[in-house]
Amino acid sequence: MNVGKTLFAQIMEFVPWTSFSRIVDRHSGNAGVRRMNCAEQFRVMAFAQLTWRESLRDIEVTLSANASKLYAMGLRHSVRRSTLADANESRDWRIWSDVAAWLIRRARKLYADEDLGLDLANTVYALDATTIDLCLSLFDWAPFRSTKAAVKMQIWCAVATYVLIAIVKKALQLDASLYTLLQILSVSVFEKIPLNKAFLDVGEITDQRASCNQLNLFNY
């Protein structure tokens, strides 16, 4: 991996973009899109999840403050919260569930003989359409939503992001826990150092008080 790339850009290299494109095409995700395609939307939502953004405005302000790094993140244009809100609420949520399912299958193969480190089984309830109304009223980690489709989109993007980091952990044979890796990435996604060096000699972070802006998937 190129030392000139940000940690975020290096993580995005682990996304199966060819398979991602096939999934998007299956659901016509980019039909009529002029400004933010599905790949860019996923990058923005993964960034928001990794860095604990609190709102669409927070995403917009943070990315605007790092405008010189947007192209390296895979973003062709500045991110406007209105554009992101439209994308989140109008696109088929099955795009993100299919992407997450592909990543989960990949991770399960990599972790066939050990714990994946994510409590996926106990969060399936949140993905059922019959409980989305409950999610809308009770869960603080869904600050970007106003429709059921948008809630499903955010949940699946969160799952996909966490599983992606689990894949990176295994691929690079990193010793730190998934929780520790995520805490480090939350404050260092724009740093330009090789991924494997970013996590060298890191101690375990044990204060696992989850941010309300992150879907809690961890096996504590």
Angle, helices 81-90 vs 56-65, to 10°: value is: 130
Domain assignment present for residue 176? The answer is yes
CB contact at 8 A, 115 and 176 = no
- Total domains in the fold of the chain: 1
Residue carrying the six token digits 């295994």: 170
What local confidence, expressed as pLDDT, does residue 76 receive? 86
pLDDT of residue 138: 45
In a domain, 25, yes or no: yes
Establish if 109 belongs to a structural domain. Answer: yes
CA distance linking residue 4 with residue 16, whole number of Å: 21
pLDDT at 201: 62
Residues 147 and 89 sit within 8 Å (Cβ to Cβ): yes
Q: Is 165 exposed, middle or buried (0-12, 13-18, 19+ CB in 10 A)?
A: buried
Q: Using CA of residue 14, residue 178, residue 205, residue 210, what is the dihedral sign?
A: positive
CB 11 within 8 A of CB 171: no
Cβ atoms within 10 Å of 122's Cβ, excluding its own: 11
Contact yes or no for 199/181 (Cβ under 8 A): yes
- Token pair 């966490």 is found at 162
- Domain containing 154 equals 7-198
**Which pTM value belongs to this model?**
0.81
Q: Is residue 127 part of a domain?
A: yes
In a domain, 28, yes or no: yes
Domain-located, residue 1 = no
Classify 52 in phi/psi space as left (phi over 0), alpha (psi -120 to 50) or beta. Answer: left
Q: Does 210 reside within a domain?
A: no
Distance CA 174, CA 170 (A): 7
Instruction: Give me the tens of pLDDT residue by residue for the chain, a chain 220 residues long.
Output: 455 789 999 999 999 999 999 999 999 999 988 889 999 999 999 999 999 888 889 999 999 999 998 888 888 889 999 999 888 888 998 999 999 999 989 988 888 877 665 555 544 444 444 444 444 444 444 445 556 667 778 888 888 999 999 999 999 998 888 888 888 998 999 998 888 888 876 655 555 444 444 444 433 2
Within a domain: residue 62?
yes
